[in-house]
Structure 1
Amino acid sequence: MSKPTTPTLGRRAVFAGAGAAGALAAAAAVLPRSQEAAPAAKSEAAPASSGGYRLTEHVKQYYAVART
């Protein structure tokens, strides 16, 4: 009869891998991040008549129906 094969991935190997992954995650959290790119120039504010949010009658009706 042939000898039974042992599992290739043992319990110790799993715990060692989990410990290594945890150590890498902790190191990544502690290390400083790279500098962000400078923020882009701020765009000019849109004019007041640009068609933004308006409280029209159908919006008021929706709010009234949603409250009930």
Structure 2
Amino acid sequence: MQDQQKPSRRGFFFGAAATGAAAAAIVALPRLATPEVQVEAVIAPPENGGGYRLSEHVKSYYKTARL
């Protein structure tokens, strides 16, 4: 087996400082990689007219859902 060492305080603080510095750099950097792009959604109407229909199936559901 390998000799397992106890984690040192120095290593912990070094890792914490590096993580904090990396987080601060990410927040402080300008957002160059994500340009703003406007996207317009094109929604085509359904072929059959779509929308809500009060079918027999829906009517039977309403009958069972009453309190």
User: TM-score with structure 2 length normalisation?
Assistant: 0.50
User: TM-score with structure 1 length normalisation?
Assistant: 0.49
